Amino acid sequence: MNMSYCRFKNTSQDLGDCLDAIENEDVKDMASFEYEGLEDILSYCESILEYRARIEEIIEEYKQNRWK
C-alpha cells in the first residue's frame, strides 16, 4: 500500500532523527548498510536542493490557498 498521504511528514521526522544522530556524533559504530544509507541521504539532499525554489513555491501556494 502506498502511504503517500504521510510520506513527507514521516520522512521529515526520520530525517530529523538522523540529523540528531549526526549532531550528537552517534555515527561511529554503525553497520555498513547504515553508512550506505547515510551516503544515500546526502545524495538525496543534494538532489532535493536542486528543487528548492519549486519546493518553496509549493509551500507558499499551500499557505495562500489554505485560507481561501
pLDDT tens digits, one per residue of 40-57: 999 999 999 999 999 999
pTM of the predicted model as reported, rounded to 2 decimal places: 0.80
Q: What is the pLDDT, as a whole number, of residue 53?
A: 98
**What pLDDT does 68 receive?**
65
- Pick the more confident residue, 47 or 4: 47
pLDDT of residue 2: 60
Q: What's the Cα-to-Cα distance from 14 to each of 7, 9, 23, 40, 41, rounded to whole Å? A: 10, 9, 14, 14, 11
